[in-house]
Structure 1
């Protein structure tokens, strides 16, 4: 049953005529009459007694509209509640990210976000496998891959960059790395199992791209483990800037080729905020998306510290 038709019936019962309702709704009185005939035909009963001056409810009409009134009140209350949930920044917010990415970029920002929005309860799922956003009821996913389903909205968080890094201890004992070609002589710490990223692309300031085949010393499936091994002096590693930034700034890692842009696959990588394609985005999700966009750190996209002399020997 058309809800607006039911509201028209209630208005007729209150006004006692068709013309008042037609005037209030800026409709032709004949349109109001058609609504009444349509509903009565669907129900198979007469709802109103009609005279030239007055319209009154029949017994069936009074019984029907009493229940309809309660039903429409409940529908309006449900709508108000949903609108409140949509505009109120609160409730459970389920977020997912890979382990290393979440630890490095998301977790440090969460205390400020949660302090700003005290009515939000957060469930953070760190997993290196991409979770099914719909099945797992995920409100927001942080992803590093551009390959995403069209049914989801993606918002770029920041452009990603990679740095070829090693510890000062490793360089002191294994000699300098002055060019991309030097990397082929050093056993490196590679990311990715079962298919480690053994081919690195490096591009200089003139746009020249060099393809380097890397000899692995260790292959790991987790970025945090790769970083720890690089810090321990196991070998050079190709680390995302967002993972290496703090250690590079502190001198615990050295940017071996600061004049080059590096990548394991392509030079247009980015971090993305991904959420279900909804017409009305819940306020809690919008709050986190806006917050994260405002807190992206420049060093996650690019780092250009002065070359540490230990990288040249």
Structure 2
């Protein structure tokens, strides 16, 4: 069935006459009549009873009208949704990032984003494994290293600095190191041997100021930054933590702040095909503003 004829049929059924439908569609009465006749010929059944007072739908016409009306309603809703998204972003947004960044920095910011854009349906996927954006396992990733997948757009988000932190309980029990070599006499929490890049750079704590003949032995190895963070909060020992975890909010104290720890780059990453997504644009801009507010 021809789409233009169905559109005219819908208008005629709504108006109840060729004349009124023609006024609505800006077509002549004869043009409307020809299109309806052609539609009836194509479906091989009469769609209207014609009489002096106007038009009445036949049984077959009623059936077609219900279907066409439903289609037009759905199209109208879709059109409204499309128009709305030009100004008000909406729809699902899956964001993946590391357990540490997501748990300690990103999650506390999300309330403000949802307040600003309540029609965006945010899902956070926290994992130290890289999800495949090309396969749409997520829409956006915040990664602590450059993406390895092709056809991904990447935007530098922040420089991630690392400092050595400990808890007040630990310092009350063991004191604070005054020089890098003092770390020989402290309990250190570091990454496990299978730590993924760039996490291995955090294990500089085992080497800075150390003597080759007396290598340091950590009190605990953990394969997750958030796990290290929790161990330090418990008072177990010292560890190098990224500043984005905001340890000062949990009263962790930095030591040996003159040491230059590793600096890694965090990236905002998304597939090329989502370049023009309004949801991604507003989320990216929101993150850049929050990063600037925190002076990262």
Q: Which of 266, 270, 278 in structure 2 is aligned with 1:271?
A: 266
Q: Which runs of 5 or more structure 1 residues have no equivalent in the other structure?
A: 1-62, 68-73, 203-208, 302-313
Answering whether residue 198 of structure 2 is matched by residue 200 of structure 1, we say no
Distance 1:200 1:225, change over 3 A: same
1:277-305 CA-partner distances (Å, limit 9, x unpaired) = 2374210111101111111156573xxxx
How far residue 276 of structure 1 moved from its aligned partner, in angstroms, is 0.5
- Partners of 2:92 and 2:122 within 8 A in 1: yes
How far residue 145 of structure 1 moved from its aligned partner, in angstroms, is 1.1
Quick one: distance in 2 between partners of 1:279 and 1:127? 22
Quick one: distance in 1 between partners of 2:222 and 2:295? 22
1:242-279 CA-partner distances (Å, limit 9, x unpaired) = 11x2x3256x222111122212xxx3x12211100237
1:102-117 equivalences under 5 Å are 102-117=102-117
The residue number in structure 2 matching 1:148 is: 148
Q: How many residues align?
A: 226
How far residue 147 of structure 1 moved from its aligned partner, in angstroms, is 4.4
Q: What SS does the aligned partner of 1:261 have?
A: coil
1:1-32 CA-partner distances (Å, limit 9, x unpaired) = xxxxxxxxxxxxxxxxxxxxxxxxxxxxxxxx
Quick one: distance in 1 between partners of 2:192 and 2:276? 35
TM-score, structure 2 normalization: 0.64
Quick one: distance in 1 between partners of 2:217 and 2:283? 41
The residue number in structure 2 matching 1:253 is: 252
- Partners of 1:190 and 1:218 within 8 A in 2: yes
Quick one: distance in 2 between partners of 1:232 and 1:280? 43
1:190-229 equivalences under 5 Å are 190-192=190-192, 194-195=194-195, 197=200, 199-200=203-204, 210=208, 212=210, 214-229=216-231
Distance 1:300 1:191, change over 3 A: farther
**Root-mean-square deviation (Å):** 3.8
- Partners of 1:241 and 1:299 within 8 A in 2: no
Quick one: distance in 2 between partners of 1:187 and 1:201? 11
1:1-313 equivalences under 5 Å are 84=83, 87=86, 88-192=88-192, 194-195=194-195, 197=200, 199-200=203-204, 210=208, 212=210, 214-243=216-245, 245=246, 247-248=247-248, 252-263=251-262, 267=263, 269-278=264-273, 280-296=275-291, 299=294, 301=296
- Partners of 2:162 and 2:243 within 8 A in 1: yes
Q: What SS does the aligned partner of 1:133 have?
A: coil
Q: Which runs of 5 or more structure 2 residues have no equivalent in the other structure?
A: 1-37, 43-71
